[in-house]
Amino acid sequence: MNTNVTTDFHSHILPGADHGSSSVSTSIRQLEIMAKYGIKRAVATPHFYPMRDNVDVFLRRREKCVSDLKEKLTGGHPEICLGAEVLVCEGMEAMEGLEKLTIVGTNCMLLEMPLTAWSQRLLETVDALVSSGIRVVAAHIDRYPQREVERLLELPLKAQLNPGAFFGMKKSRAKRWLESGKVVAVGSDLHGTDEKRYISFAEATYRLGEYAEAVESSMLELLSGAETLHID
């Protein structure tokens, strides 16, 4: 791991919150892997799907997962900030309680774009979320077609990259986005306990190169004031 990067901004590590972890023991293993690679804080970002979840039901479920996990945490595990990976849909700005899906203690939201084509109305929804005062960080922009992402990045929002951004054909795009200052976060998007996935995240942090320090500072700034789950 690049020693300048100690934050994982995107992970699925809460037991039973989504398909990232099916049990407390899986979550603990995930946290052990993170610690092994030098991660000191992770944002837990279980999926929020607006077509199947409502905000309060989601938050209650997340709270239950947290209480199950909390009992098994030790000081050797990374601190955990609580967030969500919020899949955006048209008109979502009108959803009641949406702001509660920001990372707890901050006004920052990890927003996931759909894999289907993005309508103008959808981009207007994203714009409305930004205008409402939410600091929107678009999740893993490396996963989408370039032309679509360029439209999204015209909005006053920032972005997060997954490890896949730093390998193969995608590398030059990632460099351009880093140069532009749009990338403020990196994350493993860890699901399950396959350590190889974390090794590629570690490799990606090396590939951040001269941008590693700035990205880490941006993540810390976005998380300033965030409440953390941590046992000393």
Q: How far is the CB of 10 from Fe ion (least distance, A)?
A: 6
For position 18 contacting Fe ion by CB under 5 A, the verdict is no
> What distance in Å separates the CA atoms of residue 113 and residue 133, rounded to the nearest whole number?
19
- Cα dihedral 140→9→104→156 (10° resolution): -50
Angle between helices 195-207 and 24-36 (to 10 degrees): 30
Considering only residues 8, 53, 79, 85, which one is a binding residue for Fe ion as defined by CB under 5 A?
85
What x/- string results for residues 139 through 178 when contact with Fe ion is judged by CB under 5 A?
----------------------------------------
Alpha helices, DSSP H, located in 21-91: 24-36, 55-70
Q: Does 8 bind Fe ion (CB under 5 A)?
A: no
Residue 10 or 135: the one with the smaller Cβ distance to Fe ion is 10
Query: How far apart are alpha carbons 14 and 161 in whole angstroms?
Result: 21
CB nearer to Fe ion: give 3 or 58.
58
Tell me which stretch binds Fe ion (CB under 5 A): 28-36, 68-76, 78-86, 210-218: 78-86
Minimum Å gap between C-beta 197 and Fe ion is: 12
Residue with the closest Cβ to Fe ion?
189
Q: Find the part of the chain contacting Fe ion (CB under 5 A) among 25-33, 69-77, 83-91, 113-121.
A: 83-91
CA distances from 1 to 38, 61, 152, 176 (A): 7, 32, 30, 22
The structure tokens listed for 158 are 């920032």
Which of 189, 193, 198, 229 lies at the binding interface for Fe ion (CB under 5 A)?
189
Residue closest to 60 by CA, chosen among 93, 97, 23: 97
Size of the site for Fe ion (CB under 5 A): 2
Residues found near Fe ion in the complex (CB under 5 A): 85, 189
